[in-house]
Amino acid sequence: MSARPSRSPVTPERVVTTALELTREHGIDGWSLRDLATALDTWPNTITHHVGTREQVCVAVVDRVVAEMTNPPADLPWQEWFRTFLTDGRTVLRRYRGVALRLSRDGAGVPAAMPIMERGVTLLLDAGFGADAPRAYSLLLNSAILLVALGDERTAAGVGAGDVPARMRKVAPAPGTAPAWEAMHAYFDTWSEDAEAASAAVFDFNLDRVLAGLEASLPTTG
């Protein structure tokens, strides 16, 4: 079998860049090695030769996505560092459906994550978390990234961000029947009015409360 002619040489960098583009368009689970080969105008075994299996290509894609995340300055207070990192990280991860789930499931064991982890854990150690610093780091990242992963799963299933609140609003008792339902109806309304803003508000609420809880757990001095 003769090699398929390529418009330009196939290199590891070009393979990963093209896979990143396919991930942005279809999600990390939305393309096959053959799809990637077609986009590169080459054969799948050429990709295997240059980068490896599809899973190895995906790991490289995750590394590139993490490299797009902001690693805020180390002189920020630890709460502000994590708020900046995770809020900006949400924006990046939402561009690449499925990557958030991989990070939550497999851990950020890619080279681009190492400087971020070192800085984040160092800030937590300096704040006084001691042996709990790695756990605090894991809690902050997982609680934030899992919300992104959940949104990705809804998108993959064809469920809009506001679909579930809208469905619940239809079956809930009419407003005025109970204070709890009145409060929930008001909350559902925010999703109907602007699902993206409501989703961001939930993310911010979750992050702020986790940060506050961790801060409250610090031992007091003096």
Total-model pTM: 0.88
- d(C-alpha 16, C-alpha 38), whole Å: 14
Q: State the amino acid at position 86 in one-letter form.
A: L
Residue 23: left (phi > 0), alpha (psi -120 to 50), or beta?
alpha
> Which pLDDT score, from 0 to 100, does residue 154 have?
86
Mean pLDDT of all residues belonging to the chain:
90
> Which pLDDT score, from 0 to 100, does residue 2 have?
42
Whether residue 161 is predicted with pLDDT greater than 80 in this model: the reply is: no
For residues 159-167, average pLDDT: 72
Whether residue 222 is predicted with pLDDT greater than 60 in this model: the reply is: no
Question: Which pLDDT tens digit goes with each residue over 113-144?
Answer: 999 999 999 999 999 999 999 999 999 999 99
Question: Which pLDDT tens digit goes with each residue over 44-82?
Answer: 999 999 999 999 999 999 999 999 999 999 999 999 999
Question: Which carries the bigger pLDDT value, residue 89 or residue 6?
Answer: 89
Which of 142, 143, 204, 195 is CA-nearest to residue 164? 195
Q: Are 211 and 82 in contact (CB under 8 A)?
A: yes
Instruction: Read off the pLDDT band of 193 (50, 70, 90).
Output: confident
